[in-house]
Structure 1
Amino acid sequence: MRDVPPWREPVPATGTMGEPRARGRFGEYGGRYAPESLVEACREVDEAFREARADPGFRGALAELLALHAGRPTPLTPARRLSQELGVRLYLKREDLTHTGSHKINNVLGQGLLAARMGRRRLIAETGAGQHGVATATAAALLGLEATVFMGERDIERQALNVFRMRMLGAEVVPVTTGSRTLKDATSEAMRHWVGVTGESHYCVGSVIGPDPYPWMVREFQRVIGDEARGQCAAELRTGVPDHVVACVGGGSNAAGTFAGFADTAARFVGVEAEGGAGAARGRLGVLHGCRSLFLQDDDGQIVEGRSIAAGLDYPGVGPEHAHLRDLGRARYVTVTDEEAVGAAVRLARTEGIVPALESAHALAWVIRAAGGGDLPAGSTVLMTLSGRGDKDVSTLKELL
């Protein structure tokens, strides 16, 4: 049996990517903008999480699940042929190799254990690409909990494989028919549903969004990506730290978890958004789903629907910590078109034998563009989180190729 990796000890409140300030603030972002009926539920989650992360028993149980059920640690794979073509040294953090096929399982196992610790019997979740829904259904089955997953009707159509997986695992999948019928509306419906069932259910938010404590709690459950990669880079790279750390950003959980492992280094952070869902790159200050952050809005301040070929990247905003990192200049946020993402997915498949999720392909598309355009000098070392595998996107790709 492989050694069980330790879960990171609690992070000090000082410094970049530590705990948020009072009332869950990252600079001017974050907070707990929740209906009165959910304020107490959020407070209970906050209190339970703080107690759990300080409890060696909880940390040990989570580390064991991550190792024996999720398959951690995931490898750091050198993309040798593509690196040669691009003139940089590209390393892929392989979250696509986790059980369920994406980074989402890291967060859900943590929140599932927390829900059981709190005496909750059911997990509620929203999902866009379906990966968070599958992870939630998986954790619920493993821990003996019920699961209800809200998913936009449009996403149900384009992610049929993941819908089948959720139902096979015993989860109830609730179609959302309002608005754009995608991730934003699924999140809204999940939060509305939680209002009436807080005593028995835990809302398992899938990204670094939502009211405090969710943005930093989800980041802490996902920082296992960055912590592992930090150790792997120390063993693999002469400098021990890559020049650039790159990840795709919808709400931003895989990027936040990856960045957290390198927060105290000189590595340059790049978050890659979809051209049609660029909250960090083009958003304006607003409040949505319980937090203050950057969101796509019209001239009247109404939320504009995000658009992306990748169902997990069409959220019209970004997590509050990402907005803060942008303001600090600690991270740079860029955009990639659908066409660039599809091209990057094909190129990775044909050079490295890896079919990535379309979400992850956005991050790779920026690396390809930057290497050709001078943003990545020749010989640069690049760590890119490959957040998920592309099985779920085969139907979409088949129509385009």
Structure 2
Amino acid sequence: MNEVQEQTKTLFQVSDNGYYGQFGGAFIPEMLHPNIEELRENYLAITRSEEFQQEFQQLLKDFVGRPTPLYFAERLSQEYGANIYLKREDLCHTGAHKVNNTIGQILLAKRLNKKYIIAETGAGQHGVATATVCALMGMECKVFMGALDTERQKPNVERMRILGAEVVPAHSGSKTLKDATNEAMRHWINNPIDSHYIIGSVVGPHPYPDMVTRFQSVISEETKWQLKEKTGSEDPDYVVACVGGGSNAAGAYYHYLDRPNVELIAVEAGGLGVASGRSAATTALGKAGILHGSRSLVMQTEDGQVVEPHSISAGLDYPGIGPLHAHLFDSGRAKFYSVTDDEAMQAGIQLSRLEGIIPAIETAHAISVLAQMDLKSSDVVIINLSGRGDKDLETYIKWGKY
């Protein structure tokens, strides 16, 4: 049986009422109450069933291409004086970790007799993954995407359309991920019957953060046995991942949450600098508040208005983090860093030149933090390489410093 089915409650698992410490919950309009309650009452029983797990695991293997490799990055390791392994989620079908979650949620939606799928996307990878599984299952799909992101992620927009999805640009606010999420939730409120909203990150009202984390936990589940094969131990010294909403990080951390000997490193988008007014470093700039249906850390003004974030990475351009990550920060279990746009882009070029892997700009943020860490030659570092850089070539070209 998959380890995602473990039932013992620990300090870092969601409580029965949907909280991680002081963060989480379900703050939703009355119109969505039946949908959220239906999910909350059924998601664990359905996803733990033998029939569900058999179909889920088969699709992960034969459709997604799991397990993804755990790759020893020899030249990158020499550069930073440690033993660095890359968990190659970029090699998943569709090019990122997002498909782990969309397969899980589409199977759940089918079992709840939903006919119509709604999604939001920033960098476009979740949108592509949602459009992909909707094509696979023959379901209608509407994807909301910030108008700015439709421009900087054009290849993913066209991929979604080719797969049969309707892509709806969001023209409000900063025209990025926050605004796409607002529009997607508004559409769901107006169309609650027979529809399922596939949230792409560990955000939103309970049970979404826990549900998405469980589907993504396959990342750390594989990492444990792969690392043991390579080093004789399941436990690295560090697990590093970028965090916007934070689904790739949640999946990479999951099976290490209760192992204090493994240090969890979260890397946020510093944008033009944390003090510049053009940043998405939520733990440095945010405070407790409600965003998109849960209580978490949110970048906001004194009177509670959400501050527009900035990142060169469309997938990290979000003014909050998931409630699990807020709890990991608040409790000190994870250490949070931020890196600037330029630092991330330089790290993306560095990985490309050293290892022949062009990373997504989101992932490049995680690579960049190596320069800030005090690493020893004996340290074993896992970096979750969450996506490939094909979608970001235009941004790399515009940046131009290579």
TM-score after normalising by structure 2: 0.95
Q: CA deviation at 1:200?
A: 1.3
* Residues 249 and 318, structure 1, Cα contact 8 Å, conserved in 2: yes
The answer to whether 1:178 aligns with 2:172 is yes
Partner of 1:126: 120
Distance 2:112 2:284 in 1: 38
Partner of 1:3: none
Partner of 1:33: 27
* Residues 7 and 62, structure 1, Cα contact 8 Å, conserved in 2: no
Structure 1 segment 190-269 matched on structure 2, within 5 A: 190-265=184-259, 266-269=261-264
* Residues 26 and 205, structure 2, Cα contact 8 Å, conserved in 1: yes
Distance 2:315 2:221 in 1: 24
* Residues 47 and 108, structure 2, Cα contact 8 Å, conserved in 1: no
Q: CA deviation at 1:326?
A: 1.2
Distance 1:122 1:13 in 2: 34
Structure 1 segment 94-109 matched on structure 2, within 5 A: 94-109=88-103
* Residues 336 and 362, structure 1, Cα contact 8 Å, conserved in 2: yes
The answer to whether 1:7 aligns with 2:9 is no
Q: CA deviation at 1:23?
A: 2.1
- Among candidates 292, 296, 317, match of residue 295 of structure 2: 292
Partner of 2:266: helix, strand, or coil?
strand
The answer to whether 1:325 aligns with 2:313 is no
Partner of 1:301: helix, strand, or coil?
coil
Structure 1 segment 374-393 matched on structure 2, within 5 A: 375-393=374-392
Letter matched to residue 7 of structure 2: P
Q: CA deviation at 1:157?
A: 0.3
Q: Which runs of 5+ in 1 are unaligned?
A: 1-5
How big is the alpha-carbon RMSD for the aligned residues of Structure 1 and Structure 2?
Answer: 1.1
Q: CA deviation at 1:9?
A: 4.5
Q: Which consecutive aligned stretches of 4+ in structure 1 deviate over 4 angstroms post-superposition?
A: none
Partner of 1:150: helix, strand, or coil?
strand
Distance 1:60 1:225 in 2: 18
Q: CA deviation at 1:376?
A: 2.1
* Residues 280 and 322, structure 1, Cα contact 8 Å, conserved in 2: no
Partner of 2:199: helix, strand, or coil?
coil
Question: What do the CA deviations read for 1:83-134 (whole angstroms, capped 9, x no partner)?
Answer: 0121011000000000000000000000000111111111100000000000
Letter matched to residue 194 of structure 1: W
- Among candidates 278, 303, 307, match of residue 306 of structure 2: 303
Distance 2:79 2:127 in 1: 36
Q: CA deviation at 1:209?
A: 0.3
Distance 1:28 1:264 in 2: 18
Question: What do the CA deviations read for 1:352-381 (whole angstroms, capped 9, x no partner)?
Answer: 0000000000000001332xxxx2233311
- Among candidates 225, 249, 267, match of residue 272 of structure 1: 267
Partner of 1:141: 135
Partner of 1:388: helix, strand, or coil?
coil
Partner of 1:65: helix, strand, or coil?
helix
Letter matched to residue 10 of structure 2: G
Partner of 2:273: none
Distance 1:197 1:115 in 2: 15
Partner of 2:145: helix, strand, or coil?
strand
The answer to whether 1:346 aligns with 2:349 is yes
Higher mean displacement: 252-261 or 278-287: 278-287
Question: What do the CA deviations read for 1:32-88 (whole angstroms, capped 9, x no partner)?
Answer: 000011112101112221221221100110000111100000000011011012101
The answer to whether 1:76 aligns with 2:66 is no
* Residues 9 and 15, structure 2, Cα contact 8 Å, conserved in 1: no
Partner of 1:133: helix, strand, or coil?
helix
Distance 1:304 1:318 in 2: 13
Partner of 1:399: 398
TM-score after normalising by structure 1: 0.96
Partner of 2:275: none
Distance 2:6 2:309 in 1: 33
Partner of 2:276: none
Partner of 2:12: 17
Distance 1:14 1:384 in 2: 27
Distance 1:238 1:62 in 2: 29
How many residues are paired up? 391
